Chain A
């Protein structure tokens, strides 16, 4: 009995230690969100940079003297260095995007993530770098009959200490009081004559400092690696969302919950702790849509024009010709192009369908999904598994793809459409990560990280050209069907609900059910695209459900112009071709991609489609 108790106690303690670490990181994220209303993807990058800077500085300091003082001085210096990087990011980027729609902000900060990833690889190389252990805290402490690392005990204390210091800062200093005021009402703080630029810069310093501190404190436990950013950022998102975005106390509570859930969940379901965490988040958000201690965002009646598809027009004659030309061009690729060109053209068509289905949600429905790749990937897995595990032929497997995409979109969407704005985007991301984690960890069925090879089309469709025509027909059918729905009453109802949910309800539209149905349809279309992709590549792997692919889809609709109906097709073609041309030319494509996304948000926010619409308006002489 006592053995069991001591074991449980140690398990609980290690849960507290991870809760502490998680809180330190998440507190910075929630602080920055509270003041700037920007969900900073790059927060994970700051965490990673904190670890990398610390594994560089701390050993160097410890060479002078192996003392705890120098160890922790090194940790604090690392955190300060990262804080300064946060200041740079605020001045160079964030300051320019406070007023743009949240989707663009998310994308821009994700651009920073990509750039930092390549920069880290360039500076520190691809190998993981183990950190030194903390002098004075290397031993174990006996707790009942179990050994427990002293450093973990230190971490358990660190979280509450940071919470206490933050409380003092927020309540006893002018800066902190302004921070709290800005979290409540930032326009009012501006109207009172507070230097907002300085306040925001200071907030970013503090936020990045906390992320860096979190990273630097990890070095005795985990090696610095280039994958740290995305894994921590999803966890930090979950903590801030469960706690209520902008609430530091909420983040602390949520971190405690998640720490314990992970510590004990690992005993019961060792493989799906991540799933448990996301399920907790879904559960909390269904009961409390603004998180445990969050405040509803002040929804002061929409008076601004929505960002998305406005009045969709039919095709003009010239546009019909253009469309015909595009279809002819796509159809003639197998005649004139080489194998490689055909492959790229096939992929462009597939991504066009996926991007179109995403814009059906984002542009037409105002539902910003940050995890659309999940339905694409689940469609691909459905097809791939049916063919390789059950020996099904391609035809039924391809039919299963949209069914799988639609089924999971309906399942996840049931929870997702209950939320709004940034909470909704975060939940789409969370569900996508659940799907990713299952595909990644359920090795016996999905092949884990390596995925599954041998997903080939039926004999009659085996040649690149034949398969290209299948994709052409399927993708066009999908796109035109979705386009038809946009012009139909259902599509208009989604736009109505996006413009004013209150008004839509007041004329009798069941907003939630319509959004759910829209989400399911978009998921089914993405699933079809995923199934087509699986057969074109001949394999499936978890990257098909990953955040980077979701971001690619978003970049496509951004590039094409999310306020246009056909823009995403153009965006997919441009994005995929550009990526295909440049990726082999450089080792730093991620850096380039990140920089391009940022450039797009800053100077070209309406995309190619928007530029075309402006041209059209100028030449037709009509009102813009």
Chain B
């Protein structure tokens, strides 16, 4: 079944075309990468799906429902979890409280003025942390974690609402190479097991070619190529404007390493 359908999205910023007729679709359990040079309109397209930006024209359909222009919180409630380029977490809270907060929000209890928030959803929070391998630091303050761990906790937060679709804006930005591969393996594993659709943007070609089922290549706001990693890699236009030959070799190595 088609989980996400994006039709002819357009966005201009004062004359600069950030997205032109961007269309693609994503099935449940599928991992779709969006790549392209800086300023290609990746984040713009991404934020139009997540509700952070309203498109000038075009439609976004989630499981057949039109979600174009809905605010992020409404998009979230329809089953979309997301992570940000610079990880966004609640720094004043402990790791576990971050997850408890997310679970409180998904349960629609944020206006509750009677319960004690620290006592709510403790076990569920731990279970989510366990899923990303962070249960051991549950009691640490969020501000004391290394950035790679913060990213993992953010992933757990994004998963807390049992989403159908996961949006990840440069999930591995700012992480060490070893951590990157581990995080992407984790995401891919969870997505396939729970049939979650994943849309992610990424500059790290290793991550893209190792895990994406399909790849979209954006240049100056337009999709210039789309298809399986093999198709995209073989596309001469993509090689010319984006990958280059060294990028190509790296991609081949990554694919080989991930798939034995």
A binding-site residues for B, Cβ under 8 Å = 300-306, 308-311, 484-485, 487-493, 495-496, 498-500, 502-511, 514, 517
Contacts and interface: CB of A to CB of B under 8 A. Distances in A.
Contact of B73 (A302, A303, A505): A505
Contact of B92 (A493, A495, A502, A514): A495
B93 A495 contact: yes
Nearest to B108: A508
A500 B87 CA distance: 10
Interface size class of B (residues with CB under 8 A): 35 or more
Nearest to A490: B113
A290 B151 CA distance: 32
Most B-side CB within 10 Å, residue of A302, A493, A503: A503
B112 A490 contact: yes
Contacts of B108: 508
A305 B117 contact: no
B94 A502 contact: no
15 contacts: A303-B86, A488-B116, A489-B117, A492-B101, A495-B90, A495-B93, A496-B101, A504-B90, A505-B72, A506-B73, A506-B84, A507-B76, A509-B73, A510-B73, A514-B110
Given A506-B76, A507-B102, 14 more contacts: A301-B87, A485-B113, A487-B116, A487-B117, A489-B120, A490-B111, A492-B93, A493-B111, A499-B91, A502-B52, A503-B90, A505-B72, A506-B72, A508-B106
Contacts of A300: 86
Contact of A508 (B77, B91, B113, B115): B77
A490 B76 contact: no
Interface of B: 50, 52, 71-73, 76-77, 81-82, 84-94, 97, 101-102, 104-106, 108-118, 120, 141, 143, 157-158, 160-161
Contacts of B84: 301, 502-503, 506
Given A311-B97, A503-B157, A507-B76, A488 B88 contact: no
Given A484-B113, A485-B113, A492-B104, A505 B76 contact: yes
Which of B89, B116, B117 has its CB near the most chain A CB atoms (within 10 A)? B117
Contacts of B120: 489
A502 B81 CA distance: 13
Given A487-B118, A488-B116, A509 B105 contact: yes
Contacts of A310: 92-93, 141
Given A302-B91, A488-B114, A508-B161, A493 B105 contact: yes
A498 B90 CA distance: 8
B169 to A, nearest CB: 11
The 9 closest A-B pairs by CB, nearest first: A301-B86, A503-B88, A493-B110, A492-B117, A499-B90, A489-B112, A508-B76, A505-B72, A507-B105
B76 A514 contact: no
The interface centre, meaning the residue of B71, B88, B108, B160 with most chain A CB atoms within 10 A of its CB, is B88
A500 B72 CA distance: 14
B76 to A, nearest CB: 4
A308 B76 contact: no
B160 A488 contact: no
**Candidate in A485, A502, A517 with the most chain B CB atoms within 10 angstroms:** A502
Nearest to A301: B86
Nearest to B109: A489
Nearest to A488: B113
Max count, chain B CB within 10 A of own CB: residue among A301, A496, A517:
A496
Contacts of B115: 488-489
Contacts of A487: 116-118
Contacts of B114: 484, 488
A306 B88 contact: no
A287 B90 CA distance: 29
A161 B179 CA distance: 60
Contacts of A485: 113
Nearest to B114: A488
Given A495-B92, A499-B92, A508-B77, A490 B86 contact: no
A311 B98 CA distance: 11
Given A311-B141, A505-B71, A505-B76, A306 B92 contact: yes
- Choose among B50, B82, B101, B109 the residue with the greatest number of A CB atoms under 10 Å from its CB: B101
Nearest to B87: A301
A488 B111 CA distance: 9
A503 B89 contact: yes
B110 A490 contact: yes
Contact of B91 (A305, A490, A505): A305
Looking at A301, A302, A492, A495, the one whose CB has the most chain B CB atoms below 10 A away is A492
Contacts of B104: 489, 492-493
Contacts of A509: 73, 105, 110
A311 B117 contact: no
A507 B154 CA distance: 11
Nearest to B94: A311
Contacts of B116: 487-488
B88 A502 contact: yes
A490 B161 CA distance: 19
Nearest to A309: B92
Contacts of A500: 88-91
Contacts of B71: 505
A507 B161 contact: yes
B59 to A, nearest CB: 22
B140 to A, nearest CB: 9
Contacts of A495: 90, 92-93
A517 B111 contact: yes
Nearest to A482: B113
Contacts of B111: 489-490, 493, 514, 517
Contacts of B86: 300-301, 303
B176 to A, nearest CB: 18
B110 to A, nearest CB: 4
Contacts of A488: 112-117
Best-surrounded residue of A301, A305, A310, A508 (most CB of chain B within 10 A)? A508
Contacts of A306: 91-92
A311 B109 contact: no
Contacts of B94: 311
Contacts of A493: 101, 104-105, 110-111
Contacts of A514: 110-111
A341 B50 CA distance: 60
A514 B101 CA distance: 14
Given A490-B112, A509-B110, A499 B157 contact: no
A510 B93 CA distance: 19
Contacts of B109: 489
Contacts of B112: 488-490
A332 B94 CA distance: 40
Contacts of B102: 507
